[in-house]
Each structure stands twice: as C-alpha cells, then as structure tokens.
Amino acid sequence: MSDGEIRVGHDEREAAKRLLKEHFDAGRLDADEYEDRRGRAGDAVTRADLDALFADLPPARDTDQQRPVVRPETAATLPAGKDPWAARKGALTGLVALGAVALFFVTGKWQWFLLIPIVGLVWTLFSGRDD
C-alpha cells in the first residue's frame, strides 16, 4: 500500500483545515478557493486526498511538510471517552441484527432475535472491557 492510500481520520482532516486557514490568512487562497478546499478536506478519505489540497502551496512556516503528523492511536494515548472499539461494536451489532432479521424471514422463527443480546453479552464478557 502506498503512503497516499492510507486512510486519514478526523484529527488529520482538522489539521489540514487549520493549514488551509493559515494559507488563506497569508493571502495564498481567495475565499472561494479556501471554502472549496476546506470542504474537500472535510470529505478526505486518504492522505492523497489531503496532499492534493496543498500541491500548489508552499510548505507551512514551522514545518517542512504539509501533511499533519499521523500517529497510530493506542488506548494509552486516546483522550478520555474515545473508545477505539466503539465502531467495531456498532458494526458487529448492526450485522447481528441484520442477520437476525434475515434469518427470521427465511425460517419464520422469532428466536433468531435472541442473537442480538447474546452477542452483546459475549462481546462484553470476552472483550476485557467494562463497557
């Protein structure tokens, strides 16, 4: 996987918006360009999406690269209240619920809906977390 294919998160998109604001304040971007690039920064999915926003702009004053620093987040570095497993739990719950509904319609048995709380309980017990 190339560096440009790596996905970015909320922090990287916000850092890119701050850099765009610096360029706007320095007069390198007019209001329309700034708003357009700011919107594209908010929609960015990969590093390449963010890099394209700065291709024709000089490096920021205090750094020799435009891209915000990307650190892998660990549980120790996460701010309080930010759960890295929350998205996985939500996805698993959604898939189980969807599967239960599908199995209900295929078999006609309501017991499939019991999978939803059972999977939630198993997830909580074996994830090692007190959620």
Residue 11 lies in a domain: yes
Q: Quickly list DSSP for 11-29.
A: HHHHHHHHHHHHHHHTTSS
Run of H or E residues at 94:
helix 86-107
Residue 45 lies in a domain: yes
State the DSSP code for 61: T
**pLDDT value at position 69?**
47
Residue 10 lies in a domain: yes
Residue 116 lies in a domain: yes
**pLDDT value at position 125?**
77
In the predicted model, residues of the chain with pLDDT beneath 70 are 1, 60-87, 127-131
**pLDDT value at position 70?**
46
Q: What is the number of domains present in the chain?
A: 2
**pLDDT value at position 19?**
92
**pLDDT value at position 60?**
67
Domain span including residue 33: 3-53
**pLDDT value at position 58?**
87
**pLDDT value at position 16?**
92
**pLDDT value at position 80?**
55
